[in-house]
Amino acid sequence: MCRNIKTLFNFDPPATEEEILEASLQFVRKLSGSSKPSVLNEAVFNKAVEKVAKDAQDLLNSLVTSAEPRNREVEARRAHARAVLRFGSTHSGKP
């Protein structure tokens, strides 16, 4: 799974169109192996991003859960704590 693609389901407030589009772009980049398509492939690349974003939005709208919605700030702090454990302190750039 792409590490840059974040979970978007069950947040309060719900994922924005921008977040869904960013995740879709990362997904298409990963599949295509290209972060910026050539001029010849730009149209199909962008169309794929739009299709993935639409399907992602449909998925998020269709999923159901009985779990409480997650808090973005709490999840961001947890992600930061995991990153510090994995990569070390990020304060001054020195270990």
* pLDDT bucket at 43, cuts 50 / 70 / 90: very high
Closest CA to 65 of 19, 11, 27, 13: 11
CB-CB contact of 59 with 51 (8 Å): no
Q: How many CB atoms lie within 10 A of CB 53?
A: 19
**Per-residue model confidence as pLDDT tens digits over 4-25:** 788 899 999 999 999 999 999 9
Its pTM stands at 0.79
State the Cα–Cα distance between residues 60 and 66, nearest whole angstrom. Answer: 14
- Going from the C-alpha of 92 to that of each of 74, 79, 80, 83, 84, the distances in angstroms are 23, 19, 15, 15, 12
Asked whether the predicted pLDDT for residue 95 surpasses 70, the reply is: no
pLDDT tens-digit map of 67-81 = 999 998 998 899 899
